[in-house]
Amino acid sequence: MSDVNIETVRPSVWRKMRGNTGALIGGTLLAVIILIALLAPLIAPHDPIAQDLTRRLLPPFWHDRSVPEHLLGTDHLGRDYLSRMIYGARVSLGVGLGVILVSGTIGITLGLIAGYFGGWIDLVISFAITTRLSLPIVLVALAAVALGGASLTTLITVLGLLLWDRFAVVTRAAAQSLRHQEFIEGLRAIGASRTRILFLEILPNMRATILVVVSLEVANVILLEAALSFLGLGVRPPTPSWGLMISEGRDNILFDPWLIALPGSALCLLVLAVNLFGDGMRDITGPARK
């Protein structure tokens, strides 16, 4: 199904993508993880938060003591690990997407305005970017989540309000270079409104650039969510987040290291997929890479 979509949108991109192994592997892997997340209720063998204290810490299938109903074993509360892993993909991708929506909107708007108008507006927005960059992000996010009351909504809002800098930097530069292009000058001459020029002409022209930033930032957000949840100030139990699972498995690290090995590997795989896909897209759509 995706063949048809992509062919009609940008034939050249799809053709080039076939030649780019990284983008292909990353894209496929990402698609699989997204599918798993979407179909979680259908494919998860158990309820991810249902506890069974009589079957605690069952090992995964490669151990002798494993049981077939729990392919990847159970955690310290007897919850099915495979189901938690599957639902964990939802949390990672959901937070990634939610944060990008907030941070992307803020960053792209600021960047567009700064790059297009220049002058003192640019000075103010650039100053905001510099200030944002100097804040220790993990610490500020931790503090804001702790004070704002840890919940998924707070987490997404806080990260969204903090991580707009890369979007702003990149869109600002792109808007600066597009501002003096002939077709924009032409539109200005025929009296097109600023809003139209900014959002209907300049913005669509930076699609490719923005897509690359989205991939970088999604990876960044997924890692941050995991780190915050690991520190106990991100996603709240019993929601299955991979970072939280690593933190919960930490007490049993001596005898059951698979408890942290599994969700960690899932995290690596997802971030790797996003990065490979993003890097590939940069090679395909962007100007010659350094």
Residues that bind other proteins (CB under 8 A): 127, 130-131, 133-140, 142-144, 146-149, 219, 223, 226-227, 230-233, 243, 246, 250, 253-254, 257, 260-261, 264, 267-268, 271-272, 275-276, 290
Smallest distance, Å, CB 93 to other proteins?
16
Shortest distance, position 283 Cβ to other proteins, whole Å: 13
Tokens representing residue 249 in the block:
């498995």
CB of 133 to other proteins, least distance (A): 8
Instruction: Give the nearer residue to other proteins in terms of CB position, either 197 or 241.
Output: 241
Helix (H) or strand (E) holding 115: helix 81-117
Of 17 and 245, which has the nearer Cβ to other proteins? 245
Quote the DSSP letter at residue 250.
Answer: G
CB atoms closer than 10 angstroms to residue 240: 26
HEC sequence for 140-200: HHHHHHHHHCCCHHHHHHHHHHHCCHHHHHHHHHHHHHHHCCHHHHHHHHCCCCHHHHHHH
Question: Smaller CB distance to other proteins: residue 39 or 143?
Answer: 143
Q: How far apart are CA 219 and CA 278, in angstroms?
A: 9
> Which residue, 94 or 232, has its beta carbon nearer to other proteins?
232
**Are 91 and 239 within 8 A, CB to CB?**
yes
Rounded (10°) angle between helices 81-117 and 258-285: 30
With respect to other proteins, which residue has the nearer C-beta, 95 or 184? 95
Tokens of 172: 């600002």
CB of 167 to other proteins, least distance (A): 17
Q: What distance in Å separates the CA atoms of residue 60 and residue 73, rounded to the nearest whole number?
A: 4
Shortest spacing between CB 226 and other proteins, in angstroms: 5
Least spacing, CB of residue 285 vs other proteins, in Å:
18
Residue among 200 and 253 whose Cβ is closer to other proteins: 253
